[in-house]
Amino acid sequence: MGKKNRDSNNHNNKENGKNDNESDYLEDSIGVMGIWQIYVCVVAASTRFIGMGNMSIIVFLTPITDFICIEFEENTNITAEKMVCYNNCVKYEYKSVSMDQTIVTEFDLICEREWMASFAQSVIMFGLVIGVSLFGWISDRFGRRVALLSSTILNIFSMVSSAFSPDYWIYNGLRLIMGIASGGSIIVCVPYVIEICSKKYREIAGALITLPDGLSELSLALFAYYFPTWKSLTLGFSSVSVIILLLVLTLPESPRWLVCNGRTEEAISTIMKAAEWNKLETDHVRDRVNKSVGAIVQKINPDVSVSYFDLFKKRLGTVTWSTIFIWAVVGTNYFGLYQYMTFLGTTVHTTVVMLALLQFPLCVFEVLLTKHFSRKATLIGVLVACGVPMLILIFTPKNHWVTSTLGVIGFSACYIAFGVIYVYHGELYPTCLRSMAYGITSGTNKVGAMASPFIARISPSWIPSSIFASLSFLAAAFCFLLPETKGSNLKDTVD
């Protein structure tokens, strides 16, 4: 009976184009999981702490702020009222429950300048769209380590500089640079971690990659409590980023990237050090790597270099267009629901902390889902789980407890979708295109994030719910165009 089951499983794997017994040179050399993989993955994933912090810090930089005019032109005798704009007002006084000083108070972002507060976030999101594609290309062209280092250094430079901005527009210019750098910090670590981990632990790695996001939000709330001015908050958060930079300096280059780019000796050296960290023998490392290099060389045309155009050729084109749409939908719904969920707390600090803490149990749930179900089934399931609550919201009265519950369910489903996509996406693309694919497809995620506030503000409220629900169901439909990849080795070359 046992032999029959094994034969049946092997037959099913062959039909799916997979072989669970297929050898992987990296896994065979450094083991399934060890101290080296844990250290490298934790340090690489920590770079997301910086990027997500730069995205989330805006809630503390532009909180709801009360204002009142305290000085008029030519000593005009007017009794000023709170939250009222006056054409002849020379000076306003500000008060915020969350922060003592913000960019709203620093640059007078009220009245006719009120739109500039939201524009500061749009700028960094636009930078993210550029950054994920730019650093995706840098990662595939010059190496994962180079991309991680350069994005982290650029992040710290722009963060520290922004705290000393003399005016609003210079501040926004630095926010744009910060967004570009954050795009690299958020996306490059994903293929790096996926390439380091064995297929047995990819589900766990995909979930844990997003943990720095929640830690970053928790840290921001803590820093904002003890550093209640926007300048001290920015500099305080930058100090943590410097520590992360020192850790990133210790990272090696991805062995898979080295092998795929013909730097065999460097790959062998890195793999041997990793095996030593994991207390494994290194006698057969060179033979294993050379054998894999030989197989890769046979598939590669040395006269042709890969580019973004390869993502849209043949069957890979269907995968790319599908993932582009799925990423865009997840970004639109996630960030739209994130804004909607501000009802959970009475202050910004409370809201951010509660949403951050929610992410930790969701990580565990995500691992359980991806361990027990296929990639495709899991992604379809969480997208439907996001769409159904949005559909029910159309018929739910505003400010009702059911509305709150449905919002939590939708937000949770979108968060899980992120972790599933990170793993699934890494398995869909070969090493030579993996970072570029992450860059161009996840860039649409940021476009969705830019559009979500405008969708969320549409009246009446059933229209945004209808849009979010429809997008979720459409994204689930696009998942059927993707191949199943669970249990397969990572591809190194374009088919």
Tens-place pLDDT, residues 36-81: 999 999 999 999 999 989 988 888 888 878 888 888 887 667 778 8
> Region 122-129: what's the mean pLDDT?
88
Least confident of 125-129, 143-147, 290-294: 290-294
| Residue 345, pLDDT above cutoff 80 | no
pLDDT at 5: 37
CA atoms of 116 and 122, how far apart (whole Å)? 10
| Tokens coding 318 | 């269907």
> Region 331-342: what's the mean pLDDT?
73
| Residue 187, pLDDT above cutoff 90 | no
Assign 311 a pLDDT band (cuts: 50, 70, 90).
confident
pLDDT at 14: 41
| Tokens coding 412 | 């949770």
pLDDT at 358: 82
Which of the pair, 334 or 399, is modelled with greater confidence?
334
pLDDT at 465: 83
Domain ranges of the chain: 26-53+113-295, 66-97, 307-494
Least confident of 15-24, 177-186, 244-253, 364-373: 15-24
CA atoms of 145 and 444, how far apart (whole Å)? 24
User: Contact 482/376 with Cβ under 8 angstroms?
Assistant: yes
pLDDT at 481: 92
Which of the pair, 469 or 308, is modelled with greater confidence?
469
CA atoms of 426 and 431, how far apart (whole Å)? 9
Nearest to 47 by CA among 110, 106, 135, 109: 135
- For the chain, give the percent of residues with pLDDT over 70: 87
CA atoms of 40 and 254, how far apart (whole Å)? 10
Q: Does domain 307-494 have CATH number 1.20.1250.20?
A: yes
- For the chain, give the percent of residues with pLDDT over 90: 26
CA atoms of 195 and 129, how far apart (whole Å)? 24
Torsion of CA 286, 290, 296, 301, to 10 degrees: 130
* 3-class DSSP state of 394: coil
Where do we find the tokens 């995706």? 136
Residue 293: CB atoms within 10 A of its CB come to 18
One fold for 26-53+113-295 and 307-494:
yes
CA atoms of 438 and 191, how far apart (whole Å)? 8
Please give the CATH architecture assigned to the domain spanning 26-53+113-295: Up-down Bundle (1.20)
pTM: 0.79
Q: Where do the DSSP E strands lie in 46-204?
A: 66-72, 89-95
User: Contact 245/152 with Cβ under 8 angstroms?
Assistant: yes
| Residue 20, pLDDT above cutoff 60 | no
Assign 23 a pLDDT band (cuts: 50, 70, 90).
low
